[in-house]
Structure 1
Amino acid sequence: MNYEIFDISDFKQEEFEPLGTKAKYWCSDPLGNHYLFKSIETYDSTNSIVLRDGEDWSEKISCELAKKLLIPCADYELARDKSARGVITRNFISSDNAYLVTGNEILTNYSAPINTEVQKKSEKQNIMHVYIILRRIIRNKPLGFNSLPSIKSAADYFTGYLMLDALLSNQDRHSENWGLIVTGKGRFHLAPTFDHAAGLGRNESDETKENRLTSQDRGQHVSNYVQRAKSFFYLKDKRLRTLKAFEYFGILNPRAAISWLTQLNALTTDIMQAIIEPVPAEIMSDVSKKFALEMLCCNKSNMMNLLPFFKENLDPSFRKRQIKTYE
């Protein structure tokens, strides 16, 4: 059975969401339930429509993978507002007194000086600053989620977010795409992960995907393609690839990384295929489904290869030496 595409044409539009570059707004259904609708349509500098095809199915698949891995995430459903495709998600802040603080605000207030230019492309989000903030400032796990073996704190859960990014080849974990929730009592909790539409090769044409899937040139294979994915995290002036960002957090936090890889190991090819297949053919082609599955398999394999290394990092002296190699 396919995933449902919810028609929100009759929902009441309430206010535009200022964060990010996509066309998105808050709306409510006839029962008064509030949703954020994110369209795959956006606008360029001349106010012309730009279509970001695939961002809806990429977000939906990412959400279902996160739930299977027990990673706290915003819950996304495929949606349509008249002719505009997109996704909807319920507000994950359940209390009227709670509010979200995004990473860019946190880094500005709590970390050493960093490049804070408005353009995301110029942003330098130091991964060690983020880790220290998670350990010393945010500290608490996402609200409403139970601890897992060796996964209890904000930093432990964020390690899982970086594993998810590496699995998806998600290149959009900039500082507005993570944050903390402040409760009415003033406690800080890591927010669930959200905004994963920039993964799974959604921006590549079907022709390019077919060529990579069938090419006899090893340099064109999907296994090489996924290794190019870059994160929004930096060490000094070096931008880390998504796999390296997860590896670095795994060095700092090996028990959590090992625990998350145990979850990932249980995510079989059949399970991943069962998550991808229900996307309606009208919005995701067969070749896109094959390509996304191959990306997931390659990325999973690359991360599982890190397991012996993370086990070595359980030794504090070994971990200290590894951290120095990144300095």
Structure 2
Amino acid sequence: MVEVIDVTDWIGDEHHAIFPVGARDKEMLWSPETRVEDLKPNWPYLFKESIYRYQDQYWTELVAYIVSKYLAVDVPKVFPAIKQTEDGIVCGSLIEWFYDVDSERFVHAGSYFKRIIPDFDDKTGKQHNFSDMNIFIRGLAIQAGLVTERVEWLADMALFDSLIGNTDRHQENWGVVFQSDEKSRLSPLFDNGTSLGHERFLDKVKDWDDNRLKAYVMRGCHHLRVNRENTKQRIKHFELVDGISAANKDIQKYMQQKLDTLDLEGMLAEIEDLTKIDIDVPFTQERFDWIKRNIVMRLELLKEEVKK
């Protein structure tokens, strides 16, 4: 059973106390020096609250992390957490920081897009596109000792974001970790809360049949565009998967093997266990049922897409 972490007495990071990027309130905290099970001692963690309108949204970060484990995709570890304030207890997701702040350096992808596209709009990210993404990742492999297998990373991103229905993989939600002057790696896929149908109120979708759910799923788009000229049209999730798998037979086999060997039953059981956690804003059985329907539908569609 996942334990709820109480971060009330954790020390805030004086340099990165509040993060302005994104819609949800978040703050950097340091774990205690004494070892706590499953937590790194004296390590930065991001405490992230839900958007006010969607009180249980913070659970999507943890569900997405569970999905990533079964899909074998690199995503930072996540825990449910609480913080006691003057106004009462605040619930949130606690996300393990993905690089060593003392020895490594992280650069958001947006910084590279601004170099490639002089008039890049970092507020809307409308020029965030797959074509230029490939250009600068290839450049990292040549000039910055990229240790990540870049094509597999792209395949993992497309599969993962499509399976959870993530619409917010914008230029600030991925980037490059410089391990030294000669080596770098692409970041884990972090900030996964805008996914899994979190924006749907359960009383509005409880009577949806499979056709209506499929139509909803098929409308979902990734944040990426195809190229910098096509700023209005995001790539649909399954079109992104199709484009990557169709371009490389080896990667198609890589993606197909991941989908075919995914333990759906085990993954759903681990997600459903979250409903047993005692916390002020719980993960309800109704929310699990909605997420389950989404994941099962998406997995079926992904398998069909990759086998084309």
* TM-score grouping bracket, smaller chain normalisation: 0.7 to 0.9
2: CA distance, partners of 1:249 / 1:107: 21
Runs of 4+ aligned structure 1 residues displaced above 3 Å come to none
In the other structure, the counterpart of 1:265 is 260
2:214 is equivalent to residue 211 of structure 1? no
TM-score normalised by L of structure 2: 0.84
Distance 1:183 1:29, change over 3 A: closer
The residue type paired with residue 89 of structure 1 is I
TM-score normalised by L of structure 1: 0.80
The residue type paired with residue 107 of structure 2 is V
1: CA distance, partners of 2:131 / 2:122: 21
Distance 1:257 1:62, change over 3 A: farther
In the other structure, the counterpart of 2:99 is 93
Alignment of 1:133-212 (within 5 A): 133-138=136-141, 140-142=146-148, 153-212=149-208
- SS where residue 20 of structure 1 aligns? coil
Alignment of 1:163-312 (within 5 A): 163-212=159-208, 215=209, 219-220=211-212, 222-235=213-226, 236-237=229-230, 238-280=233-275, 282-309=281-308
- SS where residue 282 of structure 2 aligns? coil
- SS where residue 94 of structure 2 aligns? strand
- SS where residue 298 of structure 2 aligns? helix
1: CA distance, partners of 2:258 / 2:270: 16
Asked if 2 retains the 8 angstrom alpha-carbon contact of 1:115 and 1:123, the reply is no
2: CA distance, partners of 1:210 / 1:168: 19
Residue 65 of structure 1: how far off its partner (Å): 1.2
Cα RMSD (Å): 2.1
The residue type paired with residue 35 of structure 1 is Y
Distance 1:247 1:209, change over 3 A: same
The residue type paired with residue 285 of structure 2 is D
Structure 1: where are the runs of 5+ without partners?
42-49, 143-152, 310-327
1: CA distance, partners of 2:248 / 2:105: 28
Alignment of 1:49-68 (within 5 A): 50-68=52-70
Q: Which moved more, 1:281-290 or 1:232-241?
A: 281-290
Once the two structures are aligned, what percentage of the paired residues are identical? 18
1: CA distance, partners of 2:305 / 2:192: 23
In the other structure, the counterpart of 1:320 is none
Structure 2: where are the runs of 5+ without partners?
34-41
Distance 1:248 1:141, change over 3 A: farther
The residue type paired with residue 265 of structure 2 is D
Distance 1:18 1:97, change over 3 A: farther
Asked if 1 retains the 8 angstrom alpha-carbon contact of 2:110 and 2:122, the reply is no
Residue 247 of structure 1: how far off its partner (Å): 1.8
2: CA distance, partners of 1:103 / 1:223: 32
2: CA distance, partners of 1:185 / 1:95: 15
